[in-house]
A = this chain, B = another copy of it.
């Protein structure tokens, strides 16, 4: 996962577990694909496969939303798309600003997945005066000086930070002061925000580091297996990282 929370869940939603919320977009994506293929209904088994989870989890997740299925049949695709969209708040329009229009900011501005889900890039903001006025993804870049005005005039409550690490906290502070209450942070730094403001982060290098950890472990296991260990190879592995392996670092006493 690529993400983190800053402080308490505060209100534990309407009883919907955070883990479930995090999967709703996944279900929505799978359902949207089915909808485009005009599939009328889908079973928990099929939908789960399409979303990459197991069916018991999916049914449990849906049970938090309500009883939207029909026993013996499955779920109505269109209806479920609507219910999940509503639950996620995607039936309304969310104006978003992206701050920091470098490579990543530009990629985000161009990313089609936003517009198609109720997110509208209301403005692009960058500190470089040379960028001002230059269109990126068809939207003219504006200067940081006008940040507060832009937030205010567009009623923006969600901000995306794609600046260098050093600029992230000051930008964050200004966004929050201007009324933004949700922030998606791509800068590799910990942001501190007041209570009531949500921060999620995406750190590209963290994901790679986690992969490297498992990759290293695989290599260790191979070597070990080769060395003659019997090591029962797990039947039925889903996605599985074997237990031990790897050179002993320190045996915790």
A interface list, Cβ under 8 A from B: 1-8, 10-15, 21-22, 24-26, 28-30, 50-52, 63-67, 83, 86-90, 92, 94, 96, 102-104, 106-108, 110-111, 113-114, 116-119, 157-158, 160, 181-184, 188, 190, 195-196, 198-218, 221, 232, 234-244, 246-253
Contacts and interface: CB of A to CB of B under 8 A. Distances in A.
Contact of A108 (B26, B94, B204, B243): B204
Contact of A184 (B83, B87, B207, B248): B207
A112 B182 CA distance: 26
Given A5-B240, A103-B107, A215-B198, A249 B87 contact: yes
Given A14-B232, A96-B208, A190-B50, A218 B196 contact: yes
Contacts of A30: 190
A25 B206 contact: yes
B208 A244 contact: no
B25 A158 contact: no
Interface centre among A117, A160, A195, A213 (most CB of B within 10 A): A213
Contacts of A107: 102-104, 106-107
Given A6-B241, A202-B204, 17 more contacts: A4-B240, A5-B239, A11-B221, A14-B248, A14-B249, A66-B252, A88-B212, A88-B213, A88-B216, A94-B208, A108-B204, A113-B205, A118-B212, A160-B208, A195-B238, A195-B240, A198-B239
